[in-house]
């Protein structure tokens, strides 16, 4: 173990190797131990890289999606009025509409994708959008079907 690497925790045998939590205090060290870093994240152990005094974490994508979805429920509101379905996401300037319920949800998924791109391009610095980080992470990391499931979870 190098001076820039800190491993701890109860080892887990992943079938190929023993995995523990992994924390690296330099990019070079993390790069040299990328497999160990990713293995730790994959089994759910803490994994991080510190560079220039800033710590970044490596997390299993599925676990992060689940956490984000649980911590930010959609509470999707869907209404049918004058032959049109509308689906809205409270707390975000997003809506979708269609001739059917499913079309409205699909349109809302598309609106989520557009919003995430706009947020990344420019809205992340706007005071009324800056706090949407978790929503954008959820959108960017999820497949359309996962977003659809999230939107419909409590509606």
CATH (domain of 13): 3.40.1620
Distance CA 68, CA 133 (A): 10
Q: What angle do CA 7, 20, 69 make, to 5 degrees?
A: 115
In the sheet that 84-89 helps form, which strands lie side by side, from edge to edge? 77-81, 84-89, 94-98
In this predicted model, what pLDDT tens digit does every residue of 3-46 receive, in sequence order?
344 444 444 445 555 778 999 999 999 999 999 999 999 999 99
Instruction: Tell me: do 89 and 30 sit in the same domain.
Output: no
Is residue 26 one of the residues assigned to a domain?
Answer: yes
Instruction: Tell me: do 93 and 119 sit in the same domain.
Output: yes
CATH number at residue 142: 3.30.160.620
Domain count, the chain: 2
Which range marks the domain in which residue 32 is found? Answer: 5-59
pLDDT for 120 beyond 60 = yes
pTM value?
0.82
Q: What angle do CA 104, 136, 58 make, to 5 degrees?
A: 135
Distance CA 88, CA 95 (A): 4
pLDDT for 150 beyond 90 = yes
Positive or negative: CA dihedral 101, 104, 108, 114:
positive
């Amino acid at each position: 173990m190098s001076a820039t690497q800190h491993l701890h925790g109860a080892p887990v045998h992943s079938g190929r190797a023993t995995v523990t939590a992994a924390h690296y205090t330099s990019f070079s060290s993390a790069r040299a131990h990328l497999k160990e870093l990713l293995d730790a994240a994959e089994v759910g152990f803490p994994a991080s890289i510190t560079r220039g005094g800033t710590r970044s974490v490596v997390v299993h994508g599925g676990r992060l999606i689940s956490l984000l979805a649980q911590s930010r429920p959609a509470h999707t509101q869907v209404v049918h009025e004058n032959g049109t379905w509308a689906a809205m996401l409270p707390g975000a300037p997003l809506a979708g509409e269609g001739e059917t319920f499913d079309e409205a949800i699909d349109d809302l998924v598309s609106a989520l994708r557009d919003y995430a791109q706009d947020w990344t391009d420019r809205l992340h610095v706007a005071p009324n959008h800056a706090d949407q980080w978790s929503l954008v992470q959820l959108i960017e990391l999820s497949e359309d079907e996962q977003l659809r499931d999230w939107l419909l979870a409590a509606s």
